[in-house]
Amino acid sequence: MIYAAIARYLGFGSATGAAWEGDWEELKQDLGAMCAAFLLSAD
């Protein structure tokens, strides 16, 4: 999921107009929070 989000942000395999859309800092924070939630969740 992290790879897909970063690849989409950078425009890998998509239209060139979609690249660099959104806030890079917010994306990093959201991905970090998602990873932490996954690692801290119970089985």
SS (H, E, C) 1-42: CHHHHHHHHHCCCCCHHHCCCCCHHHHHHHHHHHHHHHHHCC
What is the rounded CA–CA span in Å between residue 43 and residue 21?
35
pLDDT of residue 25: 94
pLDDT of residue 11: 82
Residue type (1 letter), 21: E
pTM for this entry: 0.72
Q: What is the pLDDT along the chain (43 residues), one digit of tens a residue?
A: 899 888 888 887 666 666 777 889 999 999 999 999 999 997 7
What would the two tokens of residue 17 be? 């107009």
pLDDT of residue 16: 62
